[in-house]
């Protein structure tokens, strides 16, 4: 018969009673077959990989969302700046038109001679 249990675990770990051979030897550790060990290792690795992938995906998605939000905010700010510039341009045009009108009025007054004050 093969020996299925050792008296103590190799790594000196504390073993839960469910894994113990019996109540008298709470440190007994069941030996596992190669296949079982390999399967467990593979499962652990797969789980770790999945977790890492999920975490990476989440991080990337969050980063992308943040970048998109930042881009949208920048675009909104640029639009607002353009609107302000447009308003300023309109104001400047209006001022220029007013100045032209006032110059024309002055020229007309000069031509008509209404600018001169006649003293009595």
CA distances 101 to 11, 34, 95, 110, Å, are: 98, 99, 10, 14
pLDDT at 36: 80
Q: Read off the pLDDT of each residue in 37-42 and give the average, rounded to a whole number.
A: 88
Long-range contacts of 81-88, Cβ-Cβ distance < 8 Å, separation of 24 or more: none
Which residue reads 């007309």 in tokens?
Answer: 108
pLDDT at 69: 93
The yes-or-no verdict on residue 32 having pLDDT over 70 is no
In the chain, the percentage of residues whose pLDDT exceeds 90 is 41
Q: Read off the pLDDT of each residue in 94-118 and give the average, rounded to a whole number.
A: 82
């Amino acid at each position: 018969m093969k020996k299925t249990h050792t008296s103590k675990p190799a790594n000196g770990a504390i073993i839960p009673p469910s894994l113990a051979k019996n109540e008298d030897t709470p440190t007994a550790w069941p030996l596992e077959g190669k296949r079982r060990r390999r399967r467990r290792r593979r499962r652990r690795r797969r789980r770790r990989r999945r977790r890492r992938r999920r975490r990476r995906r989440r991080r990337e998605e969050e980063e992308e969302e943040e970048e998109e939000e930042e881009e949208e905010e920048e675009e909104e700010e640029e639009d607002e700046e353009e609107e302000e510039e447009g308003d300023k341009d309109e104001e400047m045009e209006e001022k220029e038109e007013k100045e032209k009108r006032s110059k024309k009025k002055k020229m007309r007054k000069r031509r008509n001679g209404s600018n001169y004050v006649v003293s009595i």
